[in-house]
Structure 1
Protein backbone atom coordinates (compact mmCIF):
# COMPACT_ATOMS: atom_id res chain seq x y z
CA UNK A 1 0.00 0.00 0.00
CA UNK A 2 1.28 3.48 -0.88
CA UNK A 3 1.91 6.07 1.79
CA UNK A 4 -0.12 9.18 1.14
CA UNK A 5 1.08 12.52 2.45
CA UNK A 6 -1.99 14.24 3.96
CA UNK A 7 -0.17 17.38 4.98
CA UNK A 8 -1.34 20.59 3.40
CA UNK A 9 1.17 22.96 2.01
CA UNK A 10 1.11 26.61 3.06
CA UNK A 11 0.40 27.91 -0.46
CA UNK A 12 -2.55 25.59 -1.09
CA UNK A 13 -4.39 26.55 2.14
CA UNK A 14 -4.57 30.30 1.39
CA UNK A 15 -7.33 31.78 -0.71
CA UNK A 16 -6.17 33.94 -3.60
CA UNK A 17 -5.14 37.44 -2.55
CA UNK A 18 -4.89 36.72 1.18
CA UNK A 19 -1.63 36.68 3.09
CA UNK A 20 -0.86 34.10 5.69
CA UNK A 21 -1.46 35.14 9.32
CA UNK A 22 1.54 35.96 11.38
CA UNK A 23 2.22 32.76 13.29
CA UNK A 24 4.69 34.47 15.58
CA UNK A 25 1.84 35.90 17.70
CA UNK A 26 0.27 32.49 18.25
CA UNK A 27 1.64 30.45 21.11
CA UNK A 28 3.92 27.72 19.85
CA UNK A 29 2.78 25.29 22.53
CA UNK A 30 1.29 22.28 20.76
CA UNK A 31 -0.78 21.32 23.81
CA UNK A 32 -3.49 23.95 23.13
CA UNK A 33 -6.71 22.38 21.96
CA UNK A 34 -10.34 23.43 21.44
CA UNK A 35 -11.45 26.54 23.34
CA UNK A 36 -7.90 27.39 24.49
CA UNK A 37 -6.70 27.43 20.91
CA UNK A 38 -9.61 29.67 19.88
CA UNK A 39 -8.87 32.12 22.72
CA UNK A 40 -5.24 32.31 21.73
CA UNK A 41 -6.15 32.95 18.08
CA UNK A 42 -8.61 35.70 19.08
CA UNK A 43 -6.01 37.37 21.28
CA UNK A 44 -3.49 37.26 18.44
CA UNK A 45 -6.01 38.83 16.03
CA UNK A 46 -6.72 41.62 18.52
CA UNK A 47 -3.05 42.38 18.91
CA UNK A 48 -2.60 42.53 15.13
CA UNK A 49 -5.55 44.91 14.82
CA UNK A 50 -4.14 47.21 17.48
CA UNK A 51 -0.78 47.16 15.74
CA UNK A 52 -2.39 48.30 12.47
CA UNK A 53 -4.19 51.17 14.22
CA UNK A 54 -7.76 49.93 13.92
CA UNK A 55 -10.13 49.44 16.79
CA UNK A 56 -9.20 52.61 18.61
CA UNK A 57 -11.35 53.14 21.68
CA UNK A 58 -14.08 55.76 21.22
CA UNK A 59 -13.94 59.02 23.07
CA UNK A 60 -16.34 59.11 25.98
CA UNK A 61 -18.79 61.99 25.75
CA UNK A 62 -20.54 63.46 28.74
CA UNK A 63 -23.04 65.64 26.92
CA UNK A 64 -26.73 65.66 27.74
CA UNK A 65 -27.65 64.09 24.41
CA UNK A 66 -25.41 61.09 25.04
CA UNK A 67 -26.94 60.57 28.47
CA UNK A 68 -30.49 60.70 27.11
CA UNK A 69 -29.69 58.08 24.49
CA UNK A 70 -28.69 55.60 27.17
CA UNK A 71 -32.28 55.11 28.27
CA UNK A 72 -32.39 56.45 31.82
CA UNK A 73 -33.49 59.87 32.90
CA UNK A 74 -31.58 60.44 36.11
CA UNK A 75 -32.88 62.22 39.18
CA UNK A 76 -35.23 64.69 37.44
CA UNK A 77 -38.81 64.04 36.44
CA UNK A 78 -39.43 62.61 33.01
CA UNK A 79 -42.38 61.45 30.88
CA UNK A 80 -41.18 57.87 31.35
CA UNK A 81 -41.57 58.04 35.14
CA UNK A 82 -44.66 56.43 36.71
CA UNK A 83 -47.66 58.74 36.29
CA UNK A 84 -51.10 58.84 37.94
CA UNK A 85 -53.71 57.07 35.85
CA UNK A 86 -55.88 60.18 35.51
CA UNK A 87 -53.01 62.20 34.02
CA UNK A 88 -52.17 59.46 31.52
CA UNK A 89 -55.83 59.06 30.53
CA UNK A 90 -56.28 62.82 30.01
CA UNK A 91 -53.11 62.95 27.89
CA UNK A 92 -54.35 60.07 25.72
CA UNK A 93 -57.77 61.73 25.36
CA UNK A 94 -56.16 65.02 24.32
CA UNK A 95 -53.89 63.27 21.80
CA UNK A 96 -56.80 61.45 20.15
CA UNK A 97 -59.30 64.33 20.29
CA UNK A 98 -61.60 62.67 22.81
CA UNK A 99 -61.48 65.49 25.37
CA UNK A 100 -64.75 67.12 24.28
CA UNK A 101 -66.67 63.86 24.32
CA UNK A 102 -65.30 62.96 27.74
CA UNK A 103 -66.28 66.40 29.05
CA UNK A 104 -69.78 65.76 27.74
CA UNK A 105 -69.83 62.47 29.62
CA UNK A 106 -68.84 64.33 32.79
CA UNK A 107 -71.92 66.55 32.36
CA UNK A 108 -74.20 63.54 32.35
CA UNK A 109 -72.37 61.77 35.17
CA UNK A 110 -71.99 64.77 37.46
CA UNK A 111 -75.14 66.77 36.71
CA UNK A 112 -76.04 67.14 40.38
CA UNK A 113 -72.57 68.48 41.24
CA UNK A 114 -72.68 70.97 38.37
CA UNK A 115 -76.13 72.50 38.88
CA UNK A 116 -76.94 71.64 42.49
CA UNK A 117 -79.11 68.98 44.10
CA UNK A 118 -82.41 70.89 43.90
CA UNK A 119 -82.21 71.59 40.16
CA UNK A 120 -80.84 68.10 39.41
CA UNK A 121 -83.80 66.55 41.26
CA UNK A 122 -86.26 68.10 38.76
CA UNK A 123 -84.17 68.15 35.54
CA UNK A 124 -81.91 65.84 33.58
CA UNK A 125 -79.55 66.31 30.63
CA UNK A 126 -80.73 64.50 27.52
CA UNK A 127 -78.23 65.24 24.73
CA UNK A 128 -75.10 67.23 23.95
CA UNK A 129 -74.46 67.97 20.29
CA UNK A 130 -72.09 70.60 18.88
CA UNK A 131 -72.04 72.65 22.08
CA UNK A 132 -75.82 72.60 22.62
CA UNK A 133 -76.98 70.85 25.79
CA UNK A 134 -80.58 69.66 25.78
CA UNK A 135 -82.10 69.52 29.27
CA UNK A 136 -85.53 68.07 30.07
CA UNK A 137 -87.50 69.41 33.02
CA UNK A 138 -90.18 67.43 34.83
CA UNK A 139 -92.73 70.28 34.70
CA UNK A 140 -93.33 73.49 32.78
CA UNK A 141 -92.62 75.50 35.95
CA UNK A 142 -89.17 73.92 36.22
CA UNK A 143 -88.58 74.46 32.50
CA UNK A 144 -89.30 78.18 32.99
CA UNK A 145 -87.05 78.29 36.07
CA UNK A 146 -84.25 76.58 34.13
CA UNK A 147 -84.55 79.12 31.30
CA UNK A 148 -84.15 81.93 33.85
CA UNK A 149 -81.06 80.26 35.38
CA UNK A 150 -79.51 79.44 32.03
CA UNK A 151 -76.59 81.92 32.30
CA UNK A 152 -75.62 80.76 35.78
CA UNK A 153 -75.73 77.10 34.72
CA UNK A 154 -73.58 77.86 31.66
CA UNK A 155 -71.07 79.64 33.89
CA UNK A 156 -70.91 76.71 36.34
CA UNK A 157 -70.34 74.23 33.51
CA UNK A 158 -67.65 76.48 31.98
CA UNK A 159 -65.86 76.76 35.33
CA UNK A 160 -65.90 73.00 35.87
CA UNK A 161 -65.29 71.66 32.35
CA UNK A 162 -64.13 74.49 30.09
CA UNK A 163 -65.86 77.30 28.29
CA UNK A 164 -66.29 75.64 24.88
CA UNK A 165 -67.91 72.41 26.04
CA UNK A 166 -71.44 73.86 26.35
CA UNK A 167 -72.31 77.11 24.54
CA UNK A 168 -76.13 76.93 24.63
CA UNK A 169 -78.79 75.23 26.69
CA UNK A 170 -82.03 74.08 25.12
CA UNK A 171 -84.74 73.45 27.71
CA UNK A 172 -87.58 71.00 27.07
CA UNK A 173 -90.73 70.71 29.12
CA UNK A 174 -92.26 67.42 30.18
CA UNK A 175 -92.68 64.97 27.34
CA UNK A 176 -96.28 64.19 26.42
CA UNK A 177 -97.08 60.71 25.18
CA UNK A 178 -96.70 60.37 21.45
CA UNK A 179 -99.42 58.71 19.45
CA UNK A 180 -97.16 58.19 16.49
CA UNK A 181 -96.18 54.64 15.74
CA UNK A 182 -93.77 53.95 12.92
CA UNK A 183 -92.11 56.30 10.47
CA UNK A 184 -95.31 57.36 8.61
CA UNK A 185 -98.36 59.16 9.93
CA UNK A 186 -101.42 60.95 8.63
CA UNK A 187 -101.94 64.59 9.56
CA UNK A 188 -105.06 65.23 11.55
CA UNK A 189 -106.47 65.24 15.08
CA UNK A 190 -105.09 61.88 16.10
CA UNK A 191 -106.91 59.37 18.31
CA UNK A 192 -110.36 60.32 19.62
CA UNK A 193 -112.85 59.05 22.09
CA UNK A 194 -115.05 56.70 20.05
CA UNK A 195 -117.05 55.38 22.97
CA UNK A 196 -119.89 57.63 22.67
Structure 2
Protein backbone atom coordinates (compact mmCIF):
# COMPACT_ATOMS: atom_id res chain seq x y z
CA UNK A 1 0.00 0.00 0.00
CA UNK A 2 1.39 3.38 -0.95
CA UNK A 3 0.50 6.84 0.40
CA UNK A 4 -1.52 7.40 -2.75
CA UNK A 5 -3.59 4.28 -2.03
CA UNK A 6 -5.15 5.63 1.14
CA UNK A 7 -8.86 5.30 1.56
CA UNK A 8 -11.37 8.10 2.00
CA UNK A 9 -11.10 8.43 5.83
CA UNK A 10 -7.43 7.59 6.25
CA UNK A 11 -4.69 10.13 6.77
CA UNK A 12 -1.57 9.76 4.77
CA UNK A 13 1.47 8.55 6.77
CA UNK A 14 3.20 11.45 8.50
CA UNK A 15 6.50 12.43 7.00
CA UNK A 16 9.49 11.70 9.18
CA UNK A 17 11.83 14.67 9.33
CA UNK A 18 15.51 13.99 9.20
CA UNK A 19 17.15 14.73 12.52
CA UNK A 20 20.22 16.85 12.89
CA UNK A 21 23.54 15.07 13.54
CA UNK A 22 24.22 17.05 16.74
CA UNK A 23 20.99 15.79 18.32
CA UNK A 24 19.67 19.20 19.37
CA UNK A 25 16.33 18.55 17.69
CA UNK A 26 15.87 15.38 19.79
CA UNK A 27 16.77 17.21 23.00
CA UNK A 28 14.31 20.00 22.24
CA UNK A 29 11.57 17.51 21.48
CA UNK A 30 12.23 15.65 24.74
CA UNK A 31 12.18 18.89 26.72
CA UNK A 32 8.87 19.93 25.10
CA UNK A 33 7.37 16.52 25.86
CA UNK A 34 8.48 16.65 29.48
CA UNK A 35 7.08 20.14 29.93
CA UNK A 36 3.75 19.18 28.40
CA UNK A 37 3.31 15.98 30.42
CA UNK A 38 0.83 16.10 33.30
CA UNK A 39 2.23 16.08 36.84
CA UNK A 40 5.19 18.27 36.00
CA UNK A 41 5.57 20.97 38.65
CA UNK A 42 5.18 24.49 37.41
CA UNK A 43 8.11 26.87 37.51
CA UNK A 44 8.64 28.35 40.93
CA UNK A 45 8.50 32.05 41.40
CA UNK A 46 11.40 33.71 43.10
CA UNK A 47 10.79 34.72 46.67
CA UNK A 48 11.62 38.07 48.21
CA UNK A 49 15.23 39.26 47.93
CA UNK A 50 17.71 37.86 50.41
CA UNK A 51 18.06 41.18 52.25
CA UNK A 52 14.44 41.12 53.33
CA UNK A 53 14.49 37.48 54.42
CA UNK A 54 17.59 37.54 56.63
CA UNK A 55 17.85 39.17 60.00
CA UNK A 56 21.64 39.70 59.85
CA UNK A 57 22.95 43.23 59.61
CA UNK A 58 24.51 44.38 56.39
CA UNK A 59 28.10 45.50 56.44
CA UNK A 60 28.43 49.24 56.88
CA UNK A 61 30.93 51.79 55.70
CA UNK A 62 33.62 50.69 58.14
CA UNK A 63 35.68 47.49 57.80
CA UNK A 64 34.03 44.42 59.31
CA UNK A 65 34.88 40.70 59.73
CA UNK A 66 32.29 39.92 57.06
CA UNK A 67 34.13 41.99 54.45
CA UNK A 68 36.60 40.31 52.08
CA UNK A 69 39.96 39.95 53.80
CA UNK A 70 43.47 39.97 52.32
CA UNK A 71 44.82 36.45 51.97
CA UNK A 72 47.90 37.00 54.14
CA UNK A 73 45.91 38.25 57.13
CA UNK A 74 43.28 35.51 56.76
CA UNK A 75 45.97 32.80 56.65
CA UNK A 76 47.77 34.43 59.57
CA UNK A 77 44.62 34.24 61.71
CA UNK A 78 44.03 30.63 60.60
CA UNK A 79 47.58 29.59 61.54
CA UNK A 80 47.33 31.40 64.89
CA UNK A 81 44.01 29.74 65.74
CA UNK A 82 45.53 26.29 65.18
CA UNK A 83 48.84 27.05 66.92
CA UNK A 84 51.02 26.30 63.92
CA UNK A 85 53.31 29.35 64.08
CA UNK A 86 56.35 27.53 65.47
CA UNK A 87 55.91 24.53 63.17
CA UNK A 88 55.78 26.75 60.12
CA UNK A 89 58.84 28.71 61.25
CA UNK A 90 60.79 25.49 61.83
CA UNK A 91 59.81 24.14 58.41
CA UNK A 92 60.86 27.47 56.93
CA UNK A 93 64.26 27.06 58.59
CA UNK A 94 64.55 23.55 57.13
CA UNK A 95 63.78 24.99 53.69
CA UNK A 96 66.34 27.82 54.09
CA UNK A 97 69.00 25.69 55.82
CA UNK A 98 71.74 26.61 53.30
CA UNK A 99 71.02 30.33 53.71
CA UNK A 100 71.16 30.14 57.52
CA UNK A 101 74.27 27.98 58.06
CA UNK A 102 76.17 28.62 54.85
CA UNK A 103 76.52 26.65 51.64
CA UNK A 104 79.59 24.66 52.71
CA UNK A 105 78.06 23.43 55.98
CA UNK A 106 74.69 22.76 54.30
CA UNK A 107 76.37 20.62 51.65
CA UNK A 108 77.48 18.18 54.37
CA UNK A 109 74.79 18.56 57.08
CA UNK A 110 71.01 18.29 56.85
CA UNK A 111 68.39 18.90 59.55
CA UNK A 112 66.24 15.85 60.27
CA UNK A 113 63.79 16.80 63.02
CA UNK A 114 62.89 19.37 65.64
CA UNK A 115 61.04 18.64 68.88
CA UNK A 116 61.04 20.24 72.34
CA UNK A 117 63.86 22.65 71.54
CA UNK A 118 66.14 19.87 70.23
CA UNK A 119 67.27 20.02 66.60
CA UNK A 120 68.64 16.78 65.14
CA UNK A 121 71.17 17.23 62.32
CA UNK A 122 72.68 14.41 60.22
CA UNK A 123 76.16 14.81 58.72
CA UNK A 124 77.69 12.90 55.83
CA UNK A 125 81.00 12.13 57.60
CA UNK A 126 82.41 11.88 61.09
CA UNK A 127 84.73 14.81 60.35
CA UNK A 128 81.74 17.04 59.61
CA UNK A 129 79.99 15.77 62.73
CA UNK A 130 82.96 16.99 64.78
CA UNK A 131 83.02 20.30 62.90
CA UNK A 132 79.29 20.87 63.47
CA UNK A 133 79.65 20.12 67.18
CA UNK A 134 82.19 22.94 67.34
CA UNK A 135 79.87 25.26 65.37
CA UNK A 136 76.75 24.34 67.39
CA UNK A 137 76.65 27.47 69.62
CA UNK A 138 76.87 29.74 66.57
CA UNK A 139 74.17 27.77 64.74
CA UNK A 140 71.88 27.83 67.81
CA UNK A 141 72.27 31.61 68.08
CA UNK A 142 71.50 32.08 64.37
CA UNK A 143 68.43 29.82 64.52
CA UNK A 144 67.10 31.58 67.61
CA UNK A 145 67.40 34.90 65.79
CA UNK A 146 65.07 33.48 63.12
CA UNK A 147 62.68 31.51 65.34
CA UNK A 148 62.64 33.52 68.54
CA UNK A 149 64.75 33.45 71.69
CA UNK A 150 64.96 30.03 73.39
CA UNK A 151 63.32 28.06 70.59
CA UNK A 152 66.37 25.92 69.84
CA UNK A 153 68.19 24.86 73.00
CA UNK A 154 70.26 21.92 71.79
CA UNK A 155 71.66 20.62 68.51
CA UNK A 156 72.11 16.86 68.43
CA UNK A 157 74.65 15.93 65.78
CA UNK A 158 74.44 12.48 64.21
CA UNK A 159 77.12 10.97 62.03
CA UNK A 160 76.54 9.21 58.72
CA UNK A 161 74.39 6.13 58.36
CA UNK A 162 76.81 3.22 58.61
CA UNK A 163 76.48 -0.43 57.72
CA UNK A 164 76.04 -2.79 60.63
CA UNK A 165 78.62 -5.50 61.25
CA UNK A 166 76.90 -7.20 64.15
CA UNK A 167 75.41 -10.08 62.12
CA UNK A 168 76.76 -12.52 59.61
CA UNK A 169 78.92 -15.62 59.50
CA UNK A 170 82.17 -13.68 59.89
CA UNK A 171 81.19 -11.70 63.00
CA UNK A 172 82.88 -12.28 66.31
CA UNK A 173 81.52 -11.67 69.74
CA UNK A 174 83.06 -8.72 71.62
CA UNK A 175 84.96 -7.68 68.49
CA UNK A 176 85.75 -4.05 67.79
CA UNK A 177 84.41 -4.15 64.22
CA UNK A 178 86.03 -2.56 61.20
CA UNK A 179 88.62 0.12 61.79
CA UNK A 180 87.24 2.62 59.27
CA UNK A 181 85.29 5.77 60.15
CA UNK A 182 83.60 6.08 56.72
CA UNK A 183 84.54 9.61 56.12
> Normalised by the size of structure 2, how large is the TM-score?
0.53
Segments of 5+ residues of structure 2 without an aligned counterpart are: 1-55, 168-172, 179-183
| TM-aligned CA deviation for residue 137 of structure 1 | 1.1
For 1:54, the equivalent position in structure 2 comes to none
Number of matched residues? 119
**C-alpha RMSD of matched pairs (Å):** 2.9
**Structure number, greater radius of gyration:** 1
Alpha-carbon distance in structure 1 between the residues aligned to 2:150 and 2:65: 28
> Normalised by the size of structure 1, how large is the TM-score?
0.50
| TM-aligned CA deviation for residue 78 of structure 1 | 4.6
Alpha-carbon distance in structure 2 between the residues aligned to 1:164 and 1:82: 37
Out of 75, 82, 92, the position equivalent to 1:106 is 92
Runs of 4+ with >6 A deviation: none
Larger RCO, structures 1/2 (Cα 8 Å, 6+ apart): 2
For 1:178, the equivalent position in structure 2 comes to 164
| TM-aligned CA deviation for residue 87 of structure 1 | 2.9
Alpha-carbon distance in structure 1 between the residues aligned to 2:162 and 2:175: 15
Check if 1:117 corresponds to 2:103: yes
Paired residue secondary structure (2:152)? coil
Check if 1:151 corresponds to 2:137: yes
Q: Is the 8 A contact 1:139 1:173 kept in 2?
A: yes
For 2:17, the equivalent position in structure 1 comes to none
Distance of aligned partners of 1:142 and 1:86 in 2 relative to their CA distance in 1, 3 Å threshold: farther
Distance of aligned partners of 1:81 and 1:115 in 2 relative to their CA distance in 1, 3 Å threshold: farther
Distance of aligned partners of 1:87 and 1:190 in 2 relative to their CA distance in 1, 3 Å threshold: farther
Q: Is the 8 A contact 2:59 2:67 kept in 1?
A: no
Paired residue secondary structure (1:149)? helix
For 2:41, the equivalent position in structure 1 comes to none
Segments of 5+ residues of structure 1 without an aligned counterpart are: 1-68, 182-186
